[in-house]
Chain A
Amino acid sequence: MGKLLSSPKLLAIAIGVVAALLISVAGGALGASFGFGWFGGPIPFISLPAERVAYIGSYPLLNTTVMFWFGGLILIFLAWRATRKMSDVPSGLQNLFEVIYEFFGNTVDGVAGGKAKAGRRFLALVSTIFLVVVIINWVGILPGVGSVGRIETIEEWVHHHLPKVEAKVQEKHPEYTPVQIEAAALVHLLEDHGEDTFVAFDGSIVPLGRGEQARVPLNKIITFSESGLHQIEEAIHDGDDLDGLPLLDSIHSDIKKGVVQGEFVYKGQDFKGKTVGLLVPFLRGASTDINTTLAIALVAMFTVQVWGIRALGVRAYGGKFFVNPISQGPIATFVGILEGFGELTRTLSFTFRLFGNMFAGEVLLIAMAFLLPLIGIIPFMGLELFVGLIQGYIFAMLTLVFGVMAVASHGDHDTHAGDH
């Protein structure tokens, strides 16, 4: 402390850091409840399934698919750069790739055991899985990913949320016609989410975090009132013709327009007529999509089966799962079936491990960017880097371990690394 106070430079830097901290806290979500909140971090809109960015013909292109291609292109480019002019004494990118390759070469030999270079058949897939998973994890936390996107309008939001409510309404009132179900579901949706806030934008492209975005509740966007909703419910109950009902029509047209209807003043700026919606990012880390992780897991487990069949032959490898109950006893058959289920469970486990880690990390980053704008995200970025690397390593190593277990004939059971 004495050193801090004596040197003026250190003191200035310390004051600067504390000032930055206070500005960030005051400008973020905590300060917003006190009237500050000039940073206006974007309200987290967390969606488990990946969002559609565009349509190629009728095929919806997801934002994670785009990032997977992006990551793949980066990997191809890095590999090309590393192997352009290969020298005997490597340096730079070639050195990095050689380190990774050598590390996995040694590990594979060590885990596979047996004669020297017995594990070389595992090396290609294991190191590929490591590189792919690490690259798509790291590319998923680059700046600009998950923060730049398009606006999901009220219409799309309603379209997204309506089916669930419709299902519930259908259960309660199976006698309603589809039009009635939709109207009843709309009423329920508005009742439940009337206070939900959306973000009002200034135009078609908006830099968020300018502090001018307002959080507009739903009842200012779609004008409805308690009595109006009751009227619609009665009309549905009575079985009236809902086509010409003016309240319903106005609700539908309000949804289509998706702008702020009533007076809504936020920080002295009137938001009437501005478009409202939620942010759907254009780019999103590929491993935060369960389809990507499932695909990699399926590739890994399928290759494990192929290794087993190649090493042991179809009969011997199939004999692990389909055991003859007469010659080996019924318990062995049961154990064999359990092993088969174990393979399926491992695939699911792969999927959820990588997906859960990456998705939780992304949600954490979004939430921290919202709560503590400038500085809150710094330690979690470091954590995300680390977790991305570790998850790639774990995926590769587990593939290796399962591969080694698959090629092990019934004689040597000492390499049993555990079935979770």
Chain B
Amino acid sequence: MPDTPESLNTNSEESCSKHNESPSSKGGWSATFVLLGRLGGIGWFVATTIGLGAYGGHWLDGQFGTAPFLTVLGLALGVLTASVGMIRLLSSIRGNR
């Protein structure tokens, strides 16, 4: 982790030229913040997906009265979406660098 800003600088200079407008290619503080923002966003994404899944399932349970089944189903779908999405976000961050 302490090495990321240095390598970010050199990597971005070698990356393809059509990206040299984005802040990640300028290096320095903007690149660090963009990276940190993306990484932090993953955590929020996971938490909100699982929360939405659970809450949504619970609300649907209230509508249809099928005691905890829909909650569990919603939670399971939320967990699945969260983990698959997390893998995709991480690989996109890795691919961009």
Q: In the complex, are there CB atoms of A and B closer than 8 Å? A: yes
Residues of A at the B interface (CB closer than 8 Å) are 4, 7, 9-10, 12-14, 17, 53-55, 63, 66, 70, 74, 142-145, 148, 150, 204-205, 207, 282-283
Extra 4 A-B pairs, beta carbons < 8 Å, given A13-B4, A53-B72, A150-B71: A7-B5, A9-B32, A144-B50, A144-B53
B14 to chain A, nearest CB (A): 20
Among residues of B, the one whose C-beta sits closest to the C-beta of A66 is B72
Which listed residue, A10, A54, A70, A74, touches B68 by the CB 8 Å rule?
A: A54
User: Does B95 sit within 8 A of A, measured CB to CB?
Assistant: no
With A54-B72, A283-B76 as known contacts, state yes or no: A205 contacts B58, CB within 8 Å. yes
Among residues of A, the one whose C-beta sits closest to the C-beta of B29 is A9
Name the B residues within 8 Å of A74 (CB-CB).
80
A35 to chain B, nearest CB (A): 26
A53 to chain B, nearest CB (A): 6
Asked whether, in the complex, the Cβ of B75 is within 8 Å of the Cβ of A282, the reply is yes
1/0 per position for B13-27, CB-CB distance to A under 8 A?
000000000000000
Tell me the B35-50 residues at the A interface (CB within 8 Å).
46-47, 50
13 sample A-B contacts, Cβ–Cβ < 8 Å, listed by A number: A4-B2, A9-B28, A10-B2, A13-B32, A53-B72, A54-B69, A63-B72, A74-B80, A142-B82, A144-B50, A144-B54, A148-B50, A282-B75
- In the complex, the number of residue pairs spanning A and B with C-beta atoms less than 8 Å apart equals 65
A125 to chain B, nearest CB (A): 28
B56 to chain A, nearest CB (A): 11
CA distance A407 to B65 in the complex (A): 55
With A10-B2, A54-B69, A143-B50 as known contacts, state yes or no: A70 contacts B76, CB within 8 Å. yes
CA distance A66 to B67 in the complex (A): 15
Residues of B at the A interface (CB closer than 8 Å) are 1-2, 4-5, 28-29, 32, 46-47, 50-51, 53-55, 58, 67-69, 71-72, 75-76, 78-80, 82-83
CA distance A4 to B79 in the complex (A): 39
Asked whether, in the complex, the Cβ of B75 is within 8 Å of the Cβ of A144, the reply is yes
With A9-B29, A54-B67, A282-B68 as known contacts, state yes or no: A144 contacts B78, CB within 8 Å. yes
Asked whether, in the complex, the Cβ of A143 is within 8 Å of the Cβ of B67, the reply is no
Name the B residues within 8 Å of A70 (CB-CB).
76
Asked whether, in the complex, the Cβ of A66 is within 8 Å of the Cβ of B76, the reply is yes
CA distance A150 to B70 in the complex (A): 13
Asked whether, in the complex, the Cβ of B76 is within 8 Å of the Cβ of A9, the reply is no
With A144-B79, A144-B82, A283-B76 as known contacts, state yes or no: A9 contacts B5, CB within 8 Å. yes
B85 to chain A, nearest CB (A): 11
CA distance A276 to B59 in the complex (A): 21
B62 to chain A, nearest CB (A): 9
Asked whether, in the complex, the Cβ of B2 is within 8 Å of the Cβ of A13, the reply is yes
Name the A residues within 8 Å of B71 (CB-CB).
150, 282
Name the A residues within 8 Å of B32 (CB-CB).
9, 12-13
Among residues of A, the one whose C-beta sits closest to the C-beta of B69 is A54
Among residues of A, the one whose C-beta sits closest to the C-beta of B86 is A143
Name the B residues within 8 Å of A55 (CB-CB).
67
Name the A residues within 8 Å of B1 (CB-CB).
13, 17
B90 to chain A, nearest CB (A): 14
Among residues of B, the one whose C-beta sits closest to the C-beta of A10 is B2
Q: 9 smallest A-B Cβ distances: which pairs?
A: A144-B50, A144-B79, A9-B5, A54-B68, A148-B54, A282-B72, A10-B2, A142-B83, A142-B79
CA distance A10 to B32 in the complex (A): 10
Name the B residues within 8 Å of A54 (CB-CB).
67-69, 72
CA distance A14 to B1 in the complex (A): 9
Name the B residues within 8 Å of A142 (CB-CB).
79, 82-83
CA distance A331 to B32 in the complex (A): 74
With A4-B2, A9-B29 as known contacts, state yes or no: A143 contacts B79, CB within 8 Å. yes
Name the B residues within 8 Å of A144 (CB-CB).
46, 50, 53-54, 75, 78-79, 82
Asked whether, in the complex, the Cβ of B79 is within 8 Å of the Cβ of A53, the reply is no
CA distance A44 to B71 in the complex (A): 22
Asked whether, in the complex, the Cβ of A143 is within 8 Å of the Cβ of B68, the reply is no
Of A142, A150, A283, chain B has the most CB atoms within 10 Å of the CB of A142
Asked whether, in the complex, the Cβ of B79 is within 8 Å of the Cβ of A145, the reply is yes
Among residues of A, the one whose C-beta sits closest to the C-beta of B54 is A148
CA distance A14 to B5 in the complex (A): 12
Asked whether, in the complex, the Cβ of A10 is within 8 Å of the Cβ of B55, the reply is no
Name the A residues within 8 Å of B72 (CB-CB).
53-54, 63, 66, 282-283
Name the A residues within 8 Å of B67 (CB-CB).
54-55
Name the B residues within 8 Å of A63 (CB-CB).
72
Name the B residues within 8 Å of A150 (CB-CB).
68, 71
